[in-house]
Amino acid sequence: ANDKGLIRDSWERLGKNKLPHGTVMFARLFELEPELLKLFHYNAAFSSVQECLSSPEFIDHISKVMLVIDAAVSHLDDLHCLVEYLVNLGRKHKAVGVKTQSFNAVGESLLYMLECSLGPAYSMELREAWVTLYAIVVETMSSGWTE
């Protein structure tokens, strides 16, 4: 119960515009797994991380990711509502060439972003709460690979 409060408060603390935070998260992700850049090619392949991070299509993807996290945070009491959506989202990511192992780096990047954005409000308890929520989201998305 306290976990939910920590998650809701911290997400709200990031402010209404989540894009800058999502950009920090993906910049970190490309540091951890540079090969993921290749999976984002809307018209042509990006020649650099900077080019990718500033392209409108990729910025849209960042917004989409933040919206999914937002949906999870808003449905902490009834995450089962999101299962069908998340399994399908997993299926789409399988189709674009994402491997489930890459979600570890995504999780690391999410925690990195929270730590950067929250500063001293980022506690071990908060970290664990997010790890638990993220694990549920990823586990659900991952069933889109195997079914």
Q: Is 96 in the site for ligand HEM (CB under 6 A)?
A: yes
| CA pair distance 100, 2, nearest whole angstrom | 29
Please pick, from the candidates 102, 127, 143, 145, the single residue that binds ligand HEM as defined by CB under 6 A. 102
The answer to whether the beta carbons of residues 25 and 109 sit under 8 Å apart is yes
Per-residue binding string, ligand HEM, 5-44, x by CB under 6 A, is: -------------------------------x--xx----
Nearer to ligand HEM, 48 or 123 (CB): 48
Please pick, from the candidates 6, 59, 98, 118, the single residue that binds ligand HEM as defined by CB under 6 A. 98
| CA pair distance 23, 43, nearest whole angstrom | 20
| CA pair distance 12, 8, nearest whole angstrom | 6
The answer to whether the beta carbons of residues 93 and 144 sit under 8 Å apart is yes
Q: Give the residues lining the site for ligand HEM (CB under 6 A).
A: 36, 39-40, 57, 60-61, 64-65, 68, 89, 92-93, 96, 98, 102, 106
